[in-house]
Amino acid sequence: MGIKDQFQDKAEQLKAQTPQAREDVQEEVSDRRQQAQDKARQRGQQGQEQAQDAAQDARDRFED
């Protein structure tokens, strides 16, 4: 087997792996996007809860 054949075989092997690699990357990107959205949603909820708590504390102080 000559060097040219070896390079051709390697090129074909890599070409065959490309669709799976692309799918894996897309899945990872999707997972990371979902994690980021979940984290942002959680932070938003925490911020909203903190704002509600602060508003309740202010009302309580005002009523006293």
pTM over 0.75: no
pLDDT band at 15 (very low <50, low <70, confident <90, very high): very high
Please state, in angstroms and rounded to a whole number, the distance separating the CA atoms of residues 26 and 29. 5
Give residue 7's pLDDT.
93
DSSP string, the chain: --HHHHHHHHHHHHHHHHHHHHHHHHHHHHHHHHHHHHHHHHHHHHHHHHHHHHHHHHHHHHH-
Q: For 18-50, what is each residue's pLDDT tens digit?
A: 999 999 999 999 999 999 999 999 999 999 999
Give residue 44's pLDDT.
94
pLDDT band at 62 (very low <50, low <70, confident <90, very high): confident
